[in-house]
Amino acid sequence: MQENTAIPIISQSKNQTVGPVFKFGGTSMGSIERIEHVADLCLKLKPSAIVVSAMSGETNRLISLANKILERIDVPEYDMLVASGEQVSVSLLSLALRKRGIAPMPMLAPTAGILTDAQFSRANILQVKGEAIKEALDKGLLPVIAGFQGVTEDGQLTSLGRGGSDTSAVAIAAGIGAKECIIYTDVDGVFTTDPRICSAARIIRKINYEEMLEMASQGSKVLHIRSVQLAAKWGIRLVVKNTFSNDEGTEMSTIDEPIEGEIVSGIAASQNEAWIQATCANTPQFNLSNVFDLLAKKGINVDIINQGEHNSSLKISFTITQTDSNLAMETLKKEFPNISLTLREDVAKISIVGVGMRTHAGVAARMFKTLANNGIEILLVTTSEIKVGCLILRDKVSLAVNALHEEFIPKT
Ligand code: ADP
Ligand code: ASP
Ligand code: MG
C-alpha cells in the first residue's frame, strides 16, 4: 500500500491556448538573489501561471516551532502554520515580477480555488476551480500561486503533505487547461538515483510515468507522487528542469518500454520511514483488518506489512512514514489499551525500480546478494511488478544506493 492513490476530480478549462505552468521549489526561492533570478526566467519564458514553494528550510522551521508546543499534525492550526511559508514566497516573487514590469496576481489557495478534503497535514485536492486564475489571465495578470496549500469547503486552510507543491502545480495546470507543467528544481532532472547520494547517478531524459510514480512513492523526492498521478491522468506534459542551468531536463513519457533495454531504471531511497511492531494479548479485535482500518481512518498510509506470532499472540509489523509515527502510536494505544508497541525510526527503504523487471527473473535475488555482499541486513521486503524494496538500517543508505547503482545501472 502506498500513498492515497485517489485521483482528484478537476474542472477542465475550455480554453485550449493556456501556456505552461511553472513551479519553483524551495531552493529556487531560497534567497532574494534566487527569487530575482526566477523573476528574470519568467520574464524570458512567459509561463501562464507560477506556483511556488516556501523558501528552503522554512517549512522545516515552521514544523519545528509547532513541535515545541504540541506534536499534532492532524489539526487545522498545524496546516495554517506550515502553509504560511508559501505566502512569503508568493509575495516576494510578485514584488520581483512587478519590478520587471510584469503585473502579478498573488494568490493563496482560497483565492485560487484549490479545494481539498479536510485531512489536515495530508489533504487531497478535490478540485481546482480555475475561474479566479483564468479571470486574472484574461486581465493580462500573471498568477503567482502558493503551492502546498488548499482550502476545505468550509474555508479551513489545509496543506498537502511534504513536497506537495509539485501536486499543486499539476492540479492548477489541469484546472486552467494548460497542457504543460514544468517543475523547476535544484538538479538537472530525474536521475538514476539521488545525485546527492551517488556521484555516478546519471540523468534520465525520458522516464515512463509508471516508473516515475514508483520512484516517487519509494522516496525519490524530486517529484511528489500525486503530481505524477495527476499528470498521467490529465495528459499533462510534465517536465523537470533546473532553475539554474539550461539543461533540457527530464520529460515523463507514456512509452512502456525499458529505457535502453535496461532492467532497472532507477534506485530510490526513502529515509522518512518508521517501523512499528505491535502485539496485543487476548484481544480478538486486534487483527489486520481492524488495525489498518483504524490507521486508514486517520489518513495514515501503511507500506510494508508483516504478520506473525509472538508468545502465542498476533504480531503485526508494518512501516509508515516517520511523519506519521506519533499519530499511529497514539491511535493504536487509544484503541488497544494493553497493546505492546515498538517503534524504530533508524530505518530506511531502498528500492530498485524498472518496467524491465516485468520480463526478467532473478532481479530480487541479485539485489539481496548485493546488499549481503556489502554487509547490509534486510529487515523487511516488499515487491511489485516493477520494484523490489528492502527496509534496511538508515546508516547504510548511502552504501546501499552506491552498491545497487554499481550493480544495476550500466555506465555510459
Ligand atoms: P524542490 O525544493 O525544488 O521541490 P526537492 O528537494 O523537493 O526540491 O527535490 C529535489 C531533490 O530531490 C534533489 O536535490 C535531489 O537531492 C533529490 N532526489 C532524490 N532522488 C532523485 C532522483 N532520482 N533524481 C533527481 N533528484 C533526486
Ligand atoms: N514547502 C513544502 C515542503 O517543504 C512544500 C514543497 O516544497 O513542495 O514540503
Ligand atoms: Mg519538492
**What confidence tens digit (pLDDT) does each residue in 288-347 have?**
999 999 999 998 999 999 999 888 789 999 999 999 999 999 999 999 999 999 999 999
State the Cα–Cα distance between residues 278 and 25, nearest whole angstrom: 38
**pLDDT over 70, % of the chain:** 95
* Position 13 pLDDT exceeds 60: no
Mean pLDDT of 36-49: 98
87 C-alpha vs ligand 2 centroid, how far in Å? 12
CA 185–ligand 1 middle distance (angstroms): 7
What is the average per-residue pLDDT within 342-356?
96
Q: 266 falls in which pLDDT band (50, 70, 90)?
A: very high
Which three-class secondary structure state does DSSP give residue 412?
coil
Contact partners, residue 368, CB within 8 Å, separation at least 6: 378, 390
Probe ligand 2: pick from 22, 51, 148, max atoms within 8 Å of CB? 148
User: Rg of the Cα trace of the chain?
Assistant: 22
Planar angle of CA 301, 351, 295, nearest 5 degrees? 10
Q: According to the model, what pLDDT value does residue 261 have?
A: 66
* Type of residue numbered 330: E
Beta strands of 330-379 (E only): which ranges?
Answer: 340-344, 347-353
pLDDT at 262: 80
Q: How far, in Å, is the centroid of ligand 2 from the Cα of 229?
A: 18
* Any ligand 1 atom below 6 A from CB of 221: yes
Asked if the model's pLDDT at residue 8 lies above 70, the reply is no
Domains and CATH numbers, the chain: 17-186 (3.40.1160.10)
Which of the ligands is closest to the CA of residue 216? Answer: 1
Residue whose CB lies within 8 A of the most ligand 1 atoms, among 37, 148, 170, 194, for a mutation test: 194
Closest ligand to the CA of 59: 2
Looking at the chain, how many residues does it have?
412
Q: Report which ligand 2 atom has the smallest distance to the Cα of 86.
A: 1
User: Which ligand 2 atom is nearest residue 60's CA?
Assistant: 4
Average pLDDT, integer, range 89-102: 98
Quick one: which atom of ligand 2 is closest to the CA of 161? Answer: 9
CB burial of 28-67 (b: ≥16 within 10 Å; e: otherwise) equals: bbbeeebbbbbbebbeeeebbbbbbbbbbebbeebbeebe
> How many angstroms separate the CA atoms of 54 and 81, rounded?
12
User: What does the pLDDT look like over 101-141, one tens digit per residue?
Assistant: 999 999 999 999 999 999 999 999 999 999 999 999 999 99
Confidence of residue 6 (pLDDT cuts 50, 70, 90): very low
- pLDDT (0 to 100) of residue 218: 93
* Ligand 2 atom at shortest distance from the alpha carbon of 59: 4
- Cell numbers 481546482 label which residue? 128
Q: Which residues have CB under 8 Å from 161's CB, separation 6+?
A: 3, 121, 122, 123, 224
Q: What is the mean pLDDT of residues 220-248?
A: 96
- Give the model's confidence band at 260: pLDDT under 50 very low, under 70 low, under 90 confident, else very high: low
pTM of the model: 0.92
**To the nearest whole number, what is the mean pLDDT of the chain?**
93
> 46, 164 in Cβ contact below 8 A?
no
Residue 76 CB coordination number (10 Å):
14
- CB 125 within 8 Å of CB 150: yes
**How high is the pLDDT of residue 258?**
62
Distance CA 103, CA 100 (A): 9
